[in-house]
Amino acid sequence: MPADQMPRIIAHRGASGNAPENTLAAIQMAADHGAKWIEIDVNISRDGVPVLFHDDGLNRCSNGSGLVIEHSVSTLQSLDAGSWFDKAFTGERIPTLEECLQLAIRLDLGVNLEIKPCSGWELPTTDAIADLLQQKTELPPIVVSSFSHVAMQQAAKRLPEIPRSCLYLVAPPDWQELTGEVGASNIHLHANSLLDNKKVDTYHAQGLGVFCYTVNTAKEAVKLFSIGVDGVFTNYPKDLLQASV
Ligand code: G3P
Ligand code: MG
């Protein structure tokens, strides 16, 4: 079960502290830095193609403008998604999910696929991702997550064989019902989410793995591991792996 295989250190948006987030360069760098799993954010283009991008809007992480959902995949892939980060990455493209999965297979990486729909697009986004995954004859190990419960319900329906993680800033009061309803294997929480060892024990007692984002120092990772957290998402996988946390 891939959820059990998720390691302690996961490269958040690829090695996004050292390369432009959610690009093939960041994924390649995560592998070069020794990461075994990556986390990526997946939205869809106007023509329904799953692409890697964190924000609804294009302006922060590309030279485009407007919303991801407003543009065709060919337009999205004509944008520069690298130079905003560093001139050395000029010309880096917004990858399709398919390109990402191919690279993950080649690099032997597991993938935490975060469904990141624009508001109101939860079902079409999850369906487009499910359609793609169902077409593929080979996939890397995948765990699907989302802040959107609608997306998680649809993932459970469309991709029952792919493990799921419920993703929250802070676990809501009805976390038990919500994680149970979608058959979640894990709960992914913000690193500052009022977590202590009793809460971690409670999640574990429900059979849930506990993972925290975004943890960029060894000190913080050590603290979270000391209360029983199973893994952390970091923009700097090299630093945390070198620190042997
Ligand atoms: O999946 C963990 C984390 O990526 C969730 O927050 O905003 O960085 O996608 P965000
Ligand atoms: Mg994410």
Per the confidence metrics, is the pTM higher than 0.75?
yes
Residues (pLDDT < 50) of the chain are: none
Q: What is residue 4's predicted lDDT score, i.e. its pLDDT?
A: 75
Cβ of 92 below 6 Å from ligand 1 = no
Handedness of CA 36, 113, 129, 99 (dihedral sign): negative
Cβ of 40 below 6 Å from ligand 1 = no
How far, in Å, CA of 118 to CA of 68, rounded? 8
Q: What is residue 108's predicted lDDT score, i.e. its pLDDT?
A: 98
What CATH number is associated with residue 152? 3.20.20.190
Q: What is residue 52's predicted lDDT score, i.e. its pLDDT?
A: 99
How far, in Å, CA of 124 to CA of 169, rounded? 24
Q: What is residue 5's predicted lDDT score, i.e. its pLDDT?
A: 84
Q: What is residue 2's predicted lDDT score, i.e. its pLDDT?
A: 57
Q: What is residue 152's predicted lDDT score, i.e. its pLDDT?
A: 98
In the reported structure, the alpha carbon of residue 167 is separated from the centroid of ligand 1 by a whole-number distance in angstroms of 8
Which pLDDT tens digit goes with each residue over 10-30?
999 999 999 999 999 999 999
In the reported structure, the alpha carbon of residue 41 is separated from the centroid of ligand 2 by a whole-number distance in angstroms of 5
Handedness of CA 95, 15, 241, 238 (dihedral sign): positive
Which residue range(s) make up the domain with 15? 3-242
Structural domains in the chain (count) = 1
How far, in Å, CA of 90 to CA of 105, rounded? 25
